[in-house]
Amino acid sequence: MRIVVLGLGYLGATHAACMAELGHEVLGVEVEQSKREMLAAGEVPFYEPGLPELLSKHIQSGRMSVTGSYQDAADFGDVFFIAVGTPQKKGEYGADLRYVDAALEELVPLLTRDALILGKSTVPVGTSRRLSERADELAKDIDVEIAWNPEFLREGYAVRDTLTPDRLVLGVFPSGNAESVAREIYATALGNGTPLVVTDPPSAELVKTSANAFLATKISFINAMAEVCDAAGADVKAVADAIGYDARIGRKFLNAGLGFGGGCLPKDIRAFMARAGELGAAEALTFLREVDNVNMRRRTRMVELTREICGGSLLGARIAVLGAAFKPESDDVRDSPALNVAGQIQLQGASVTVYDPKAIENSRQLFPTLDYATTALEACEQADAVLVLTEWDEFIKLDPMHVRNVVRRNRIIDGRMCLRGEEWVAAGWDYRT
């Protein structure tokens, strides 16, 4: 099958390379020139384990190529995946759909034969209906079908999640033939037993937003328990372990700490609330405001704890921040809790040195006034406190005795509850979580 992927960010680049891996001919469309040139040379402009190998393999074999031209795309494809970003609007909760709309407006007038457009981007419920109506207006004597096929990949596991997903979801309008095309595209996964849920487009859109809302709620639930545990002198990890044994609850996504960030969960729950409001169903999602509040309170609490451990003031303190990416195995710093905390601490008068195995370049662009180190130990030199804010393996493996030799004061806050606390305590550290 000849597949076009519109937008080659984290989602689109992974999807395109994986479609090639499944045996399809793939053309990726990327409007940003620098990104396009890297991808066309088989290089990935962000960190995603396993993706560089897959991409370069298929660029070299010729099964995947990259263009900036919608005309090339229209000439090439039978199926078009929309994988462009849907960021949060500036100063508002709603999703900014300008890139989705632009993709449709540019592509459809150029099509000269029937086509299927499959939406992958996370969009507010109702978007595919609106796009379908618009496609009918734009199409010239051809039939353009729209269907929604949401994506559930996690950064850091994007290739695995795309090639062997937990489930495939497809929202189709009646009378379309998207289902048979999708079955052909995903024949490998379906052959391996991956369930396919076929439903209407609004339900498919809602599967994605409600899944992310549930995950965010689960994290904020355990973080709310952490607040109570702190107040009561209880251990939230023990609570999470014990309730997690209940199969109805499950232990995953019950890691208390600095909370969620990244390009998806925070903006998706806000866009979901905004959309529910437009639909007259705001009340149904007021709890998500609290989910967001609990999450943001984690960052404030981390700053307070740092101030406390430094004796009540951050003025003139030297703070080492280990971790900048919103989670390990990623270089993504969009809405990163770690960088947010680093920035707040700096505003309170501390000098902050950040180290991250993969996200320094991206952090520097977003927070140019912070200092950056090239190793964890370098960041910790002469520090009054060390904060572990992203649970990279490298930090979990740090030797407390080694770190002690370089800091000014042996105080550490484990913002992700990822270290073996007893080892740090045994090595003489004031260890807090």
Output the known binding site.
35, 86, 122, 152-155, 208, 253-257, 261, 267, 327, 334
Compute the distance between CA of residue 274 and CA of residue 310 in angstroms, rounded to an integer. 40
Query: Is 264 marked active-site?
Result: yes
Kindly state the smallest distance separating residue 258's Cβ from ligand UDX, in Å: 7
Task: Mark 149-178 with x for binding to ligand UDX (rule: CB under 6 A) and - for no binding.
Answer: --xxxxx-----------------------
Closest CA to 319 of 344, 300, 299: 344
**Eight-state DSSP code of residue 115:** E
Closest CA to 87 of 343, 262, 286, 217: 262
Compute the distance between CA of residue 190 and CA of residue 186 in angstroms, rounded to an integer. 6
Side by side, the strands of the sheet bearing 168-172 are 64-67, 25-29, 2-6, 79-82, 115-119, 144-148, 168-172, 196-199
At 374, list the tokens: 């090239």
Closest to ligand UDX by CB, 9 or 261: 261
Closest to ligand UDX by CB, 111 or 219: 219
77 near ligand UDX, judged by CB under 6 A: no
Closest to ligand UDX by CB, 151 or 384: 151
Task: Mark 103-132 with x for binding to ligand UDX (rule: CB under 6 A) and - for no binding.
Answer: ------------------------------
Q: Residues at the annotated binding site for substrate?
A: 152-155, 208, 253-257, 261, 327
3-state secondary structure of 428: coil
Question: Which span sits near ligand UDX by CB under 6 A: 67-75, 163-171, 254-262, 399-407?
Answer: 254-262
Closest CA to 142 of 116, 123, 160: 116
Kindly state the smallest distance separating residue 163's Cβ from ligand UDX, in Å: 15
255 near ligand UDX, judged by CB under 6 A: yes
Size of the site for ligand UDX (CB under 6 A): 20
Cα 356 from chain centroid (whole Å): 17
Closest CA to 198 of 171, 160, 238, 173: 171
Q: Exactly one of 264, 342, 389, 413 binds ligand UDX (CB under 6 A); which one?
A: 264
47 near ligand UDX, judged by CB under 6 A: no
Kindly state the smallest distance separating residue 335's Cβ from ligand UDX, in Å: 8
Kindly state the smallest distance separating residue 41's Cβ from ligand UDX, in Å: 26
Strand (E) or helix (H) holding 225:
helix 201-232
Torsion, Cα of 47, 35, 37, 33 (10° steps): -170
Identify whether the C-beta of residue 264 lies closer than 8 Å to the C-beta of residue 246: no
432 near ligand UDX, judged by CB under 6 A: no
Q: Which residues are catalytic?
A: 264
Given the rule CB under 6 A, which residues bind ligand UDX?
Answer: 151-155, 212, 215, 219, 253-255, 257, 259-262, 264-265, 326-327
